[in-house]
Amino acid sequence: MVRRKQIILVLLLVPFFIFMVSDEEHSSGFKDFLGKTINFFVLIGALIYFLSKPLRSLLEKRATEIEHSMKEAEDSRSEAEERLRVVRERLSGLEEEAAQIKREAEIEGQKEKERIQELARSEAERLKLFARQEIEVYTNASIKELREHTAELATKLAQERIRKKLTPENQSLLLDKSIERFEKLYEKSDSG
């Protein structure tokens, strides 16, 4: 550190000594050039001296930040790769699970279809039986009604025929025959 200070001090004092020597032999162009060059190096030396620590600490800090950022990026990348692997495993598991669910749904659908078909068959049989019973009831009722109507018509027809054929003479003859039959019947019941 001391050596550095000595070098800087020498660099700062050299221009003063050069310009103190006044030689008319040298041209002022060379002196100007030499003075500017020395001033340039002195300025660079002073800048390096005064800015080296802050610049070094700034660069070290920036390097540390970059390393930290790179480490975080690597960690994030590793995390992302792990998440991607997990997601891919899940996806492959989901595809298999979806296929299994589809197979189970198809089986359940087939069972439900068979159950509905069986239920429909039994309901159809029940409706057929009910329809047969209802037809039988209506048929029997219709037959009974038809018989009653036929009997009524036959009775009316017989009454009309009897009225047409039954004259007062025939009526008295029929009454006489009926009385005779009752008498015979009465006599048989008394004797027997």
Q: Which two tokens stand for residue 67?
A: 């390393």
Q: What number of CA atoms fall less than 13 Å from residue 77's CA on the CB side? A: 6
26 neighbors 42 (Cβ within 8 angstroms): no
Count how many domains the chain has: 1
Rounded alpha-carbon distances, angstroms, from residue 56 to 6, 8, 63, 68: 21, 19, 10, 18
What pTM value is reported for the model? 0.34
Q: Which pLDDT does position 13 carry in this prediction?
A: 66
Q: State the DSSP code for 167.
A: -
Q: Which two tokens stand for residue 62?
A: 């920036």
Measured CA to CA, the distance from residue 86 to residue 67 in angstroms comes to 28
- At position 107, the amino acid (one-letter code) is I
What Rg do the C-alpha atoms of the chain give, in angstroms? Answer: 69
34 neighbors 21 (Cβ within 8 angstroms): no
- At position 44, the amino acid (one-letter code) is I
User: What angle, 0 to 180 degrees and rounded to 10, lies between the N-to-C axes of helices 28-165 and 2-20?
Assistant: 130
pLDDT in tens, the chain (192 residues): 667 677 666 666 666 665 555 455 545 677 788 878 888 888 887 788 788 888 888 889 999 999 999 999 999 999 999 998 888 888 777 778 878 888 998 899 899 889 999 988 998 899 889 889 988 888 898 888 888 888 888 888 888 887 777 777 877 887 888 888 888 888 877 775
Domain range enclosing 80? 2-191
3-state helix, strand, coil in the chain (%, to 5): 95, 0, 5
Closest CA relative to residue 115, chosen from 123, 103, 127: 123
How many Å separate Cα 46 from the centre of its chain?
74
38 neighbors 18 (Cβ within 8 angstroms): yes
